Structure 1
């Protein structure tokens, strides 16, 4: 190539020497200026301040003549600065051991009285003189307006709600802890109100989320207008505000709550979509009389608010101690621990109750019933477990375990046909569905022998969801039964839409069949309805032969109950074993 002969080369190898392409010396001042930085040196004994290139432009000054001393530079400092370069150096806790002491500080400058703030990050190192005190400092400054704005925004959001400008839940709780501590020490009283904007979900649906946000913002301003200077208002959650009433006697809390309710309901909220009318509901707690710590304050305020909504929306309700409620709460805690422990220790069992043909009394299938084995070996029946588990949100965990046990047993015994109950929470639980699909794929002969039972109340609560549940189960090849049929009074139309295979008549109508004309009429009507829809029927709680004969004569397909056979921890045979109903059989 042209010019190659001008490149210095190694005489032995003929290759270019390593220093042949050596770069020109770096222009550090130009690089710093390009990066938006400026260097300085401050001799503190003479107060002389020397600046590198680009400092004037960086600081929006005509030149650096006014900042050639530390005192001159101090004239640009904004009065609101909490800390400056001088503070970082002179008040440093470090000592110079010969290599200097690093510092970094942020502060604001103003190049003129009406000039905007320039936020500066000042990073440097100071060196001590003979007396050990700061003598010389040098460093670099840069403008960090954008970064400072982001940091301030994040700091604001960590303590305040972006929509309303009021403190957020975390900071409200922090303030509540402080007020609670002061009240306990001074032996005074204060209050905490949990304020909910009623029916905000309907506002979302009718007008959109933007309008709902406008409503929340206006309500916050109204609540703020009715709080005293010593009180604290904060946004607790989506539609809820918390108000700390400092130094407030118990009898004054109700009056304060009524002021807040009035300001919420008396005037409509003007929004971009037009006027919106809203009301509020309030639950209040007197502290420390009725709550000794933050957890109790928040729990009791929420509990009282929930009861106020149930009793009369748009009203105020004050917390009152209730020994029965507290006892129930403690019982719930114990029950939760027992159920979770039983799950973890694999003490969940199945009992099998036979269902027989009403005409021949031959065994058709077994219903799998939940049992928990106590540590002492005794058994807890389903009627003592399921209601508690559903109330505490543990039913879906039990459902998954029952599903696993039932399908495993059916896979091990190809002649076993069985049904199992599913709670309302599990019908929409993706974990239950994924477990069902996985097990039926693993044991592909089980589905046609499986019946899944859902209660009638679950079915009529949301017909569309129930219909989807039925369809998905039947797509796997299993059948669907409605349990406790008659308790929810499902309409003919809904029953037809569901597409189930079987109904199980609620035992409450069957157990008194021989003594109640109303029950006989009701059961016979249901059997006729099912026959018209070509659905199989099971009568539950059959307790005597006379009832069994009546049901068979009316065309009931299957019978279940104490007269037919008790639930046992083992399943038995392909035909019904009548000995199961003998008193000497172990009842599970």
Structure 2
């Protein structure tokens, strides 16, 4: 019935029902009822002023309750659990909506307790109709049990808000709360803080004890940190070994005090695990906002920056972020160089320069050319390689750079059948299967060219993971390439590791060669390296040879090849390419 009293098409008026009408006709006589029963759905009619409920035959079975509990809206409401959301009465009788002739639809979920004591979640959807005075007169609808799907949704929501391993806030939820706290601090001109806590040496724990024990430790560290927080402060898990700590109404002094409590709590008592007791430390980096950060991204980034800064010096300590003009300038410069590297890759403004590697004898014959990276800006000027390579390695761009350098190097080798080149690869590239597959592809198509290539790896990268480097060396050598260790002497390669790597050549770090004349220690060190290489039957190359006197002494000591500005500077010219007759005459 509409608000103006006109009758709408609807089921039998609830006010005309008798007690004998409270049960619907036999479901077998109604095809629609058969369908509803088969999918566990029950239907109802509710005469609201008289509070009479009429149900389909299957209602008691669907809901798991006794039929006498379904006779009225009041009796049915008593089935709801105390902590259940609002039920049908609130959705209908207290509805803020107005029936304008079509009825008002509703869809709600609530929890009821069954006759067996179990709790079931019910989906209740229907439509109520108003009397002439606009008040709800009667309603009809359908209910079904959705406990399983409700629990699935609840677990998904819980997983999005809480970390399943530690029970602390998830990263997503923690960041939401952190951003709200920052906005509140800005509004009231207050102060709040963020600490990022990183569990030290978690990778070593994984290797030594296994991932299960590492997970135990992560959860236990979270509990121990949580126990040392002030009331109102929050803890969330940010990543594998990192937690975030939100400190409300926090000044730098309070943050330092809290950090000391956390450091001591984790460090002072060992953690008991299934593998036995394990000693753990955490390192902390913090920031006070909005004093030093006005956005969530800035807070997270600068707290991480403080954490990285202290971890580089020592673990198990705390550092609070402090602004630095020099650091900000360096960051802006890094961003600028990053953009230029990406632009140079896209615009193919990466090229090579070639420095000769000559025999140490009197002839000084060029045996190889080392390919040196050149990256040009859009205006044609060169980016300094000393700034480009470390940043490219840090940002993960070096693999793209190395791939382009390999492409350019192979093009030179293919074009010049007698040419021999060496090329440097970064530590990241030694683990890059894409680079190795490219090298294998060249070996299949141009086997003669690949055999004239020498691959150089730095000593520091070689000793970082000897086994991985050994596998890389073996794979490159199997394709016909020679492999050299560059900057030999700059790291701490042992005799055993040097032998295990199976390399073909060592390039003595230029810092020792450049000071060969002025430093007796460096002379002795170079001589020792040459003796070691000779004993291991390795080819030797001395870098940064400063003058003829040093070159002659190195040759006398048994060094095989020389490299440096004295024997030939790097140039983008190709001296192995014959000069055209006309050009030679004009020259």
Check whether the contact 2:442–2:450 (CA below 8 A) recurs between aligned residues: no
- How far residue 25 of structure 1 moved from its aligned partner, in angstroms, is 6.8
- How far residue 287 of structure 1 moved from its aligned partner, in angstroms, is 1.6
Q: Please, which runs of 5 or more residues in structure 2 have no aligned partner?
A: 1-27, 580-586
Check whether the contact 2:399–2:432 (CA below 8 A) recurs between aligned residues: yes
- How far residue 475 of structure 1 moved from its aligned partner, in angstroms, is 0.8
Give the total of aligned pairs: 552
Query: In structure 1, which of residues 326, 329, 337 is the aligned counterpart of residue 328 of structure 2?
Result: 326
Match of 1:425 in 2: 428
Q: Using the alignment, how far apart are the partners of 1:307 and 1:378 within structure 2?
A: 33
- Residues 463-488 of structure 1: CA deviation (Å, up to 9, x unaligned): 22221111111111111111122222
Check whether the contact 1:189–1:250 (CA below 8 A) recurs between aligned residues: no
Check whether the contact 1:507–1:541 (CA below 8 A) recurs between aligned residues: yes
- Residues 495-537 of structure 1: CA deviation (Å, up to 9, x unaligned): 2222222222222222344444443333333333323322222
Check whether the contact 1:190–1:250 (CA below 8 A) recurs between aligned residues: no
Residue 265 (structure 2) pairs with residue 282 (structure 1): no
Match of 1:41 in 2: 45
Alpha carbons of 1:97 and 1:410: their partners in 2 closer, same or farther (altered >3 Å)? farther
Match of 2:458 in 1: 455
Q: Using the alignment, how far apart are the partners of 1:107 and 1:61 within structure 2?
A: 15
- Residues 131-181 of structure 1: CA deviation (Å, up to 9, x unaligned): 565444322211111111111111111111112222111111111111111
Q: Please, which runs of 5 or more residues in structure 1 have no aligned partner?
A: 1-23, 577-584
Q: Using the alignment, how far apart are the partners of 2:201 and 2:537 within structure 1?
A: 43
Q: Using the alignment, how far apart are the partners of 2:246 and 2:357 within structure 1?
A: 60
Check whether the contact 2:81–2:112 (CA below 8 A) recurs between aligned residues: yes
Q: Secondary structure of 1:356's partner? A: strand
Q: How does 1:179-328 map to 2 (within 5 A)?
A: 179-328=181-330
- Residues 109-145 of structure 1: CA deviation (Å, up to 9, x unaligned): 2246x92322101133344555565444322211111
CA RMSD, 1 decimal: 2.7
Match of 2:73 in 1: 70
Alpha carbons of 1:572 and 1:102: their partners in 2 closer, same or farther (altered >3 Å)? same
- How far residue 396 of structure 1 moved from its aligned partner, in angstroms, is 1.9
Match of 2:142 in 1: 140
Check whether the contact 1:84–1:106 (CA below 8 A) recurs between aligned residues: yes
- Greater Cα shift, 153-162 or 178-187: 178-187
Match of 2:402 in 1: 399
Residue 66 (structure 2) pairs with residue 59 (structure 1): no
Q: Secondary structure of 1:445's partner? A: helix
Q: How does 1:143-154 map to 2 (within 5 A)?
A: 143-154=145-156
Q: Secondary structure of 2:447's partner? A: coil
Match of 1:504 in 2: 507
Q: Using the alignment, how far apart are the partners of 1:128 and 1:207 within structure 2?
A: 69
Q: Secondary structure of 2:124's partner? A: strand
Alpha carbons of 1:471 and 1:312: their partners in 2 closer, same or farther (altered >3 Å)? closer
Alpha carbons of 1:90 and 1:290: their partners in 2 closer, same or farther (altered >3 Å)? same
Check whether the contact 1:183–1:288 (CA below 8 A) recurs between aligned residues: yes
Query: In structure 1, which of residues 466, 490, 494 is the aligned counterpart of residue 493 of structure 2?
Result: 490
